[in-house]
Chains A and B, each alone.
Chain A
Amino acid sequence: MKEETNSMPAHDAPQVNYLNWSHTVKSWLLTGDHKRIAMLYLISVSAFFLVGSAAAGLIRLELTSPRGVLLENETYNKIFTMHGVVMVFFFLIPAIPAILGNFLVPLMIGARDLAFPRLNLLSWYVYMAGGVCAVIAMMTGGVDTGWTFYTPYSSMYSKSQVVWAICGAFFAGFSSIFTGINFIVTIHKMRAPGLTWFRLPLFVWAQYATSVIMILGTPVIAITLLLVVVERTLHIGIFDPKLGGDPVLFQHLFWFYSHPAVYIMILPSMGVISELMACFSRKRVFGYSFVAFSSLAIAALGFLVWGHHMFVSSQSMYQGMVFSIISTVVAVPSAIKVFNWTATMYKGSIRLETPMYYALGFLGLFLIGGLTGLYLSSMATDIHLHDTYFVVAHFHYVMVGGTIMGYLGGLHFWWPKMTGRLYSEFWGRLSAILVFLGFNATFMPQFVVGYLGMPRRYHYYYLMPEFQIWHVLSSFGSILLAVGFMLPAFYLTWSYLKGPKAGPNPWNATGLEWTTQSPPMSHNFDEPPIVTEEAYAYDAEAEEAEDIEEAPAAKPAHAPKPAGG
C-alpha cells in the first residue's frame, strides 16, 4: 500500500497550490484556472441552493393545512416558481458539470486546464448575470408562472416579473453552452498520451454526453423563452390564440429542451456514481463499454421523448404513442447502468465510507425514480397522474435522489482533492443517512397523495381535506431532509479551515487526478502524465490478500489517518 501518501509530516512548509498562490480578489475574479472557477461555482451554486431550499421549506409549511398557513395565493405561486426556477436553472443544471466537471475533467485527462480558460471564466460571469436577473425578478415582485413558463399565461396574462426571470434562465443557459463547448473540445483534443477513449474514466464520458445535450438543446430553450418575451412585450402573436398563436407550440419547444435537461442533471451524477462504485468496491466498473455507451444512448434518445409531457395537452393519440414507446425504450440504458453498478460490487472489497453511502443511497432513490417513470411514460396511467403530486414525487426522486445524491457523493469523494483536507467520517455518514431517510419520508407520501388526485401547484386543498395527513407526513420528512443537507455545510466548512491534511490520494483511488498533490498546483501536473493502463485498475482480490498479510490487526491501510488533526 502507498503508505507514504498518508505519512506526510504535518509541519511541512505549506506547498504552493491553486488556492494559496495568491489571495487577492483580482486573482480570483480574473482567474482562468478551471479549479478556481469550479470553486467560484461551488460558492454561487450553493448560495442558490440555499435560496431554493428556503422556498421549498415555505411550500412544505403551507401545505400542512388545507387552507394554507401564512401566505396568500399570489405569494405561494411566486414561492413555488422561485423554488423551481432557482433549483433547475441555477442549481441542478450547473451543479455537477460546472463544479465537479470543471474541477475534474482536465485533471482526469491529464491536461493543464480546459481548452478555453477564458470562455470558462466567462461562463461563470454569464451564470452570475443570470443569477442577478433572477434575484431582480424576486426582489421586484416575483414571478408566478411556474418554472415551465407555460403560455399564454406567461406571455399575456401574468402580471409578474416574467421577463426578468426569463432573462435569468436565458443567461444561465448560455453559461451551460459555454461549459459544454469547453468540455467537448477539451476531451477531444487534450487527453494525455496513452489515454484512449476507452481508458477514460466514466465520469468523463458522462460529462461528454452531457455537453452534447447542452450545446444541442440549450439554444432551443433560449429561443423559446425569447419568443415568450417577444409576445409579452411586443404582442406579436406566437403562442396566444387571441393573437393568432398556438399555446401548445410552446410546450413542444419547451420540452424539447427541458426533457433532455433532465439528462443534463442526471448523466453527470451517473458518471460520479461509476467512479464511486469502482473505487469503493476496489473493482473495475462492470461492463465499462455498456455504461459508457448507455450515456450516449440516453443523450441521443433523450431528444426524442419530449411529447410524454403532453399526453393530455391535445396532442394526437398516435403522436402520443410514438413518444410513449420511445420513452419506454430510454429507460433501458438507465436500467443497464443500475445493473452494472450492482454487478460491480460483486466480489469486490467494499469500503463503506461517506461517498459510498451516498452512492448506495443514489441507487435506491434512482431505482424508485426511474421505475415510477414507467407510470408516466405509459399513456393510460399518465392521464390520471399527469400534473399531480405523483409527478412531483417522481421527478424529485430523479433530480434530488439522483442528481443531489450523486453531487454530494462526488463532493465528498473529491473534497480532499479540492481542498487538501479531510472531513469527519462520522458526520459525513450521518448526513448521507439523514438525506436518504429524510428524502424518502418527504417524497414517498407524495406518490400516494398524487395518486389520490392532488394536483401540483395547489396552494389550497380544502376540497380534499382527506389529503392533509399525507402532506403533514411529507412536511415532517422535509425537516429531516433539511438537517441532512445542512450538516455538510458545517462540517465541510470546518474541514476546509481546520480539517486534517488529506495527502494526494486518501482513498487510494486510481485516476490521474489522484496522482498530483492535494490541492493541485495551478498547472495541475509537474510532468505531463502518460497513461499505460485501463481505467479503474483496482484489484479487490489482491488487495484483500495483501491486507490479511500486512495488517492482521485490522488497521485499514487505505483509510486516511487524520495525522495531527
Chain B
Amino acid sequence: MGNFPLMPEQASTFAGPYDVLFLVTTILTVVFTGLVSALVVFFALRYRKGNKVNRKGAHDEHLPLELTWTILPLILGLVIFFWAAALFTHMRSAPKDAMEIYVIGKQWMWHIQHPDGVRENNELHVPLGKPVKLIMISQDVLHSFFIPQFRVKQDVIPGRYTTLWFEPSKVGRYNLLCAEYCGTQHSEMGGFVEVMEQAEYQKWLASKGARNFDQKLTMEKAGEAIYKQYNCAGCHEANDSIRGPSLAGLFGKVVALEKGDSVTADNSYVREAILSPNDRLTKGYIASMPTYKGQITEEQTLQLMAHIKTLGVAQPKPTMAPAVSPPAGSTDPSVPDVRPTGTPE
C-alpha cells in the first residue's frame, strides 16, 4: 500500500503505442476540461452580480463561434478515431507465423492447451519476442481474457471461437484475469501469464512434458485418436465420396453449401460442421451425419480440428513432442474435467 501505481507495466509490443494514444487522449481531456472550467470560473467571478464590469454587447447567438466549437471537436475526435482505428486494426491482425495456443474458459478457470500437448490451468507460459495467437472458446457463459500489462482483452464466448494475439516484450509474471462477469467466483477466475526467454521456454515445455510423459500427446495426435474413435474416415475418405466430402486440405477452402451460398472453412465453421452438421450442409450431400453435440467436448473439438488440419498435407509439421501414442481417450488426470455439462448449473 506504500506506493501509488499510476500505470500498468508495459509487457507487450502493444503497450507502448497504446500508452501514447492514451496519453494524448488524456492531454486532450485535461486541456479541454481545464479550459472550459477556467472560463466558467472566470465568468462566474467576473460577471458576478453587482460587479461593475462592461456588460454591453453580449450576444445571444453567434454563428461563426457555433461553427468553431462544432467543427474543432469533430476534427480532434476524428483524429483520435483514425489513430485508434489504425492501432486497433494492428491489434486485431495476427501475423501469419504466430504461435497458436488454445484457451477454453469455464466457470471459473482458464484451461490452456499448447499445440504440442502441454496443458495448464490459470497459467499461461509464453516465449519472449514471439507473436502468440490465442484461439479461445467458452464452454459455459461469457468470459473475457484480459492481460492488463499486455493491453489486450477479448471476450470468450460459448459456441464460437474468438482470437487474440500479442507479442510479449518483457520477461516477467503478469496478471491473467477474467473481465466479463461470469458468476459467483468471477473475481477469482484468473492467474498469471509468465513470459520467458526463448531457451527457458523450450526447457519449460520439455520439463512439463516429462512430468506428464504418459499422457503427453500433441493436439494433432490426440485429435487423430478421436478421429479414429468416431470412425470419421468411414465417410470422410481421402477423396469426396457419396457419403461425405473429403476433409483433405479443408481449412481455408471455400465450401459451396446446399442452400446455394458458400463459406470459407475456418475454425468456427468446422466446429459447427462437427457439432451440428446439418445446419449448413455441403452442396451435394444429404443430412446423414449424426450430431456430435454433447458427445465431444470443446477440448476434443479443438484436437480434432488440429488433426483435420494435417489431412492432405504432404509433410506434417514436425512437433517437439515425443511420438508416443497412449491409449485413445485417456485424459490428463491433472486437468479438471472440462466436459460440457448438458444442463445448466
Contact = CB atoms under 8 A, between A and B. Distances in A.
A563 interface: no
Interface string A365-392: 0011001101101111101101110000
B7 A314 contact: no
Contacts of A380: 18, 21, 83-88, 91
B299 interface: no
A242 B159 CA distance: 8
Given A146-B181, A363-B36, A544-B49, A312 B175 contact: no
Nearest to B32: A371
Interface stretch (B62-70, B243-251, B282-290): B62-70
B58 interface: yes
B84 A241 contact: no
Interface stretch (B71-79, B210-218, B256-264): B71-79
A194 interface: no
B55 A349 contact: yes
A21 interface: no
Contact of A381 (B7, B18, B180, B185): B18
Contacts of A284: 60
A469 B8 CA distance: 15
Interface string B39-57: 1100110011110111111
A218 interface: no
Contact of A363 (B37, B73, B92, B107): B37
A313 B143 CA distance: 10
B80 A540 contact: no
Interface in B1-33: 1, 3-8, 18, 21-22, 25, 28-29, 32-33
A557 to B, nearest CB: 10
B89 to A, nearest CB: 7
Q: Which applies to chain B's interface (DSSP): helix, strand, loop or mixed?
A: mixed
Contacts of B89: 317
Contact of A378 (B1, B84, B179, B276): B84
Interface stretch (B145-153, B315-323, B331-339): B145-153
B140 interface: yes
B40 A342 contact: yes
A387 B188 contact: no
A228 B181 CA distance: 17
Contacts of B141: 150, 152-153, 157
Contact of A342 (B39, B48, B91, B152): B39
Contacts of A456: 181
B142 interface: yes
A458 B85 contact: no
A451 B7 CA distance: 7
Q: Which applies to chain A's interface (DSSP): helix, strand, loop or mixed?
A: helix
Given A312-B144, A374-B28, A383-B88, A347 B55 contact: yes
A350 B32 contact: no
A138 B228 CA distance: 52
B222 interface: no
Interface in A459-493: 459-461, 463-470, 472
A325 B155 CA distance: 22
B187 interface: yes
A281 B47 contact: yes
A358 to B, nearest CB: 13
A458 B48 contact: no
B157 A314 contact: yes
Contacts of B22: 375, 381, 451
B157 A247 contact: yes
B32 A332 contact: no
A516 B103 CA distance: 68
Contacts of B65: 287, 343
B139 to A, nearest CB: 9
Contact of B344 (A156, A331, A461): A156
B187 A352 contact: no
A453 B146 contact: yes
B40, B49, B178, B192 — most chain A CB neighbours (10 Å): B49
A386 B84 CA distance: 14
Interface in B130-185: 140-142, 144, 146, 148-149, 151-155, 157-160, 162, 175, 177-185
Given A384-B18, A544-B55, A350 B37 contact: no
A259 B140 CA distance: 27
A16 interface: no
Interface in A506-524: none
Q: How many interface residues does chain A have, given as a range?
A: 35 or more
Contacts of B159: 241-242, 246-247
Contacts of A73: 184-188
B59 interface: yes
B56 to A, nearest CB: 6
A312 B164 CA distance: 10
Given A290-B66, A314-B155, A451-B8, A541 B55 contact: yes
A381 B305 CA distance: 34
Q: How many interface residues does chain B have, given as a range?
A: 35 or more
Contacts of B184: 73-74, 77, 144
B44 A352 contact: yes
A412 interface: no
B61 interface: yes
A275 interface: no
Interface in A40-55: none
A332 B22 CA distance: 20
A343, A363, A469, A548 — most chain B CB neighbours (10 Å): A343
B54, B69, B188 — most chain A CB neighbours (10 Å): B69
A460 B29 contact: no
Contacts of A325: 78, 81
A464 to B, nearest CB: 6
B85 A457 contact: no
Interface string A130-146: 00000000000000111
B144 A453 contact: no
A347 B155 contact: no
A328 interface: yes
B92 A317 contact: yes
B97 interface: no
Nearest to A547: B50
A244 B276 CA distance: 9
A265 B342 CA distance: 41
Interface in A323-338: 324-325, 328-329, 331-332, 335-336, 338
Contacts of A451: 7-8, 22
A360 B179 contact: no
Contact of A448 (B6, B84, B157, B345): B6
A378 B25 contact: yes
A320, A349, A368, A455 — most chain B CB neighbours (10 Å): A455
A244 B278 CA distance: 13
Nearest to B145: A312
A560 to B, nearest CB: 15
Contacts of B188: 73, 460
A284 B59 CA distance: 9
A439 interface: no
A330 to B, nearest CB: 10
B61 A287 contact: yes
Given A247-B159, A281-B47, A371-B29, A469 B4 contact: yes
B107, B144, B187 — most chain A CB neighbours (10 Å): B187
Contacts of B86: 380
23 contacts: A144-B183, A146-B181, A240-B158, A283-B58, A335-B69, A336-B70, A347-B54, A347-B58, A349-B48, A371-B33, A374-B25, A378-B84, A380-B85, A381-B22, A452-B5, A452-B7, A452-B148, A456-B181, A458-B187, A463-B190, A463-B192, A465-B1, A466-B5
Given A77-B181, A332-B74, A347-B58, 17 more contacts: A152-B140, A153-B141, A153-B181, A240-B158, A247-B158, A328-B78, A342-B43, A350-B44, A350-B48, A383-B91, A384-B153, A451-B7, A461-B187, A466-B5, A469-B1, A540-B58, A554-B50
Which are the 5 A-B pairs with shortest beta-carbon distances? Answer: A453-B148, A241-B159, A378-B84, A347-B58, A380-B87
